[in-house]
Each structure stands twice: as C-alpha cells, then as structure tokens.
Amino acid sequence: MSTLPITSILHSLQHQRKSLNHRATSLALISLIVVSFYIFFVARPSLDLAPIALRTDALGHAGTHGSHQQDRDDPPPSSRLFRLPSNSQRKTVVTNVNRPQIELDESQELAAVAAFIAALPQNMIPRSIDPAKPIDPQLVLDFDTRSPRAADELNQIVQDVWSRYPVMLFTKAHNAHSREIRRIIAVMDLQPPPMTFEVDQREDSEVLIPLLHRLTSSTDLPLMLIGGKSVGSIAAIRELNESGELHRLITNAGAVLDGRKKKKVH
C-alpha cells in the first residue's frame, strides 16, 4: 500500500516535467516569431546590403585570349571588379537625361564622324540621317552626350583622332585622281600611315559623301584631311606637293616623312 503514493508522486512529477517542456517550446517559438518580425518588418529599412561585385571579361584578358588563366601583367582581381551603381550614380543618370545634349560645330562633327568610322570597319553612318543637317551626337560618340563632362570628352576625341591620323584620305576605288593622291602620299612613307577610306565602296556612301561635302566645303572626292582640315581640290594638292608646302603641312600635323627608314636608323 505504501507504493501507491510513491507512484502517484512520480506520475505527478512526469506530468509537470512535460508541461514545463511544452511551455519552454512555446516560449521559444514565440520568441523566434517576435525576432523574425522585428528583422523583416522593423529593422529591414536600416540594413545596408553591400553591393554585389561582378567579374567581367569585357576588359579582362581571359575573355580576349580564350583562356581563364590570369596573365602575369593582368591587374589584381580586386581592380577588375565592377560594382552595382550607388544611389548617387543612379541620380546622376536620371539628372543627365534632363540635361540638354552637347552641340557640335562643324570641325567637332567632322572629328566625331572620322573617329567613328575609323574605329571599326563595320561602323556605318545610318542611312536614315539627313546629311544636310547636323548629325545626332549620340550616333557617333561613345560617351554620355548629356554628361557635365561631355565637352571635355569631346575635346579629347578631337585631339586623339587627328594625332592618331594626321593624314586622312577619302577616295574612290576606281578613280584617276584618287590613285594620284594615294601615290603622292605613298612616296612620303608616312608614320603614322594615312587612314584611307574608299568611300564609294562603303554601305553608307550615299550619306557619308554629302556629309563630308557639307563639313569640308568640298564638292568632290578625293578629299585629303591634314590635321583635320581639308587641303582643297586635286589641283591644289598638286601645287602644294610641287612647292613642298604639302610636306610642311603634314609634318606640322604630327606625321613623320620617311618614317620607317628613320625608325630603322634609330
């Protein structure tokens, strides 16, 4: 008979222990719900997520050479990471949309067109443009033409294109005057070599030819630009060549006569 009270006591203790376990579990679940609610609905606006770093092959050597092995001269990986634009950068983009687009004078327009078609063989002036009117800068410039720095970037392009190509020729493939100009320039052995376009062989010839006539006041091809300026008709080019003035203009523009011979001597 003495065992009955003991058994009752044990059952009572087990029941109390289960009740305590249920209470502890319930309190833990409630606490978890409260904390989750605080994190997702209260503290979320103050969280500052770090921008995601993306690796690109556009500027890296791995994509260019078809190999994923980093070259020795490559910059460290940290300098080849692109970050998502910050809030201030996004605001700048929106602001630029509301800014007026940069306007080009004729000399700047000529430089922009020349740089555009010289950059890649497939770069063509759209046939939809009116060559009698100023070209839309966005068609030939590779930067934001509404940016506060647009004027500086444009000036840089003007300087770069004429320093890289002091002599630029716009000729026709099967034309006696064009062949004559090419021979005159070929004898000089210029460095850097002249940039030559056979305009009548291009897909955009219908708009490029009248566009060049408007920007240079020329009336026909071939057209020779020295330092970004037209030197006149074929007759004027002959006279300049015979007098030696053509050599002076070309050297003043930055090209070197007999450039390959002088390079070998050095």
Selected residue with higher pLDDT from 178 and 56? 178
pLDDT, residue 134, reads 96
Instruction: Provide the pLDDT confidence category of residue 52 given band limits of 50, 70 and 90.
Output: very low
SS3 percent helix, strand, coil of the chain, rounded to 5, is 55, 10, 35
Selected residue with higher pLDDT from 62 and 126? 126
Reading the block at residue 256, the tokens are: 């070197």
CB 211 within 8 A of CB 125: yes
Selected residue with higher pLDDT from 208 and 61? 208
pLDDT tops 60 at residue 33 = yes
CA 144/CA 156 separation, integer angstroms? 14
DSSP three-state, residue 258: coil
Torsion angles phi and psi, residue 240, rounded to 5: -65, -40
CA 251/CA 227 separation, integer angstroms? 10
Region 180-207: mean pLDDT is 96
CB 214 within 8 A of CB 131: yes
pTM, two decimal places: 0.64
The string of pLDDT tens digits covering residues 75-84 is 443 333 334 4
Region 224-242: mean pLDDT is 96
pLDDT, residue 84, reads 44
Pairing mode of beta strands 81-83, 167-171 = unpaired
The string of pLDDT tens digits covering residues 5-16 is 666 665 666 666
DSSP three-state, residue 7: helix
Of the listed ranges 6-10, 68-72, 162-166, 193-197, the one predicted with least confidence: 68-72
Region 256-263: mean pLDDT is 74
Reading the block at residue 171, the tokens are: 């000729």
DSSP element (H, E) containing 197: strand 195-198
